[in-house]
Amino acid sequence: MGVEGGMKCVKYLVFFFNLIFWLCGLALIVVGILVQVSLHNSLMMKDASASGGPIILIAIGVVIFFIAFFGCCGAWKENYCMVTTFAVLLSLIILAEIAAVITGYVFRNKLSAIVHDSLTDMIDNYNNSTEEFRDSVDKLQEDLHCCGVNSSADWRDFSPDGNSVPDSCCLNVSTNCGKGAMTDASKVNVQGCSKAVEALLQKNIMWVIVAALVIAFLQIMGIVFACLLMRGIRSGYEVM
């Protein structure tokens, strides 16, 4: 005997919320992969801890993806065991997300050091790296309108004259525009990229936090509706 009356609405709400969870899980996987690729291809970050955030996003996304599919089946089939398992697993996911937020907060001050070290490695390896690597560094400097780590003077080993910077540092990029113009503010961006990259990452982190709060709210609502559906299914069994 299936659930009736108001429990039918709860059943469809659980199914609807799980469909949203399924999409959220898929979105987290995609975002995690994009962030991972961005960190290691565009910013070329070497610190292993920089991969922690993207990997956590991907892992949580995969788990939510499968749990949501599990919850959809349980709600549609009105299976008490499956709905109960879904509620328990979703509760564990929320606890894992809380742990991830706490971890991120504890290591928030390490962001500056990671960015600084990564940018320093980029500059040190620029001349002896692949064209793809140099293109990534150039794109970073052009997009953020910056040069070097702390200032354009960080490129002092770029050329033998000790006074040239990559053309990507120029206000108006053109061939050899950075030659002999390291500290010329009228030709090149003299401010470093460290602060700009930190600001960009912090801005993106704010969006991640907002998204996490929305997802957490949906997860809590999903648990509430799952519990209501469990009670409705159990009542149906008792009537039988």
CB 167 within 8 A of CB 129: no
Distance CA 169, CA 178 (A): 7
pLDDT of residue 188: 92
CB-based contacts of 171, cutoff 8 Å, min separation 6? 186, 187, 188, 189
pLDDT digits (tens, 9 = 90+) for 136-157: 889 888 988 999 999 999 999 8
Distance CA 59, CA 64 (A): 9
**pLDDT band at residue 41 using 50, 70 and 90 as cut-offs:** low
pTM value surpassing 0.75: no
pLDDT digits (tens, 9 = 90+) for 178-188: 898 888 889 99
CB 195 within 8 A of CB 153: no
Does 112-194 carry CATH code 1.10.1450.10? yes
CB 83 within 8 A of CB 229: yes
Which two tokens mark 154? 């960080």
CB 81 within 8 A of CB 234: no
pLDDT(239) > 50:
no
pLDDT(240) > 50:
no
pLDDT digits (tens, 9 = 90+) for 86-131: 888 888 888 877 777 777 667 666 777 778 888 888 888 888 888 8
- Domains in the chain: boundaries: 6-108+204-239, 112-194
221: phi then psi, degrees, rounded to nearest 5: -60, -40
Which two tokens mark 15? 């199914």
CB 11 within 8 A of CB 78: yes
- Amino acid identity, position 65: F
- Amino acid identity, position 169: C
Question: Of 45, 202, 20, 48, whose CA–CA distance to 28 is shortest?
Answer: 20
pLDDT of residue 237: 44
CB 155 within 8 A of CB 189: no
CB-based contacts of 116, cutoff 8 Å, min separation 6? 149, 194
Distance CA 34, CA 137 (A): 18
CB count within 10 Å of CB 166 equals 24
**pLDDT band at residue 52 using 50, 70 and 90 as cut-offs:** low
CB count within 10 Å of CB 214 equals 12
pLDDT of residue 197: 84
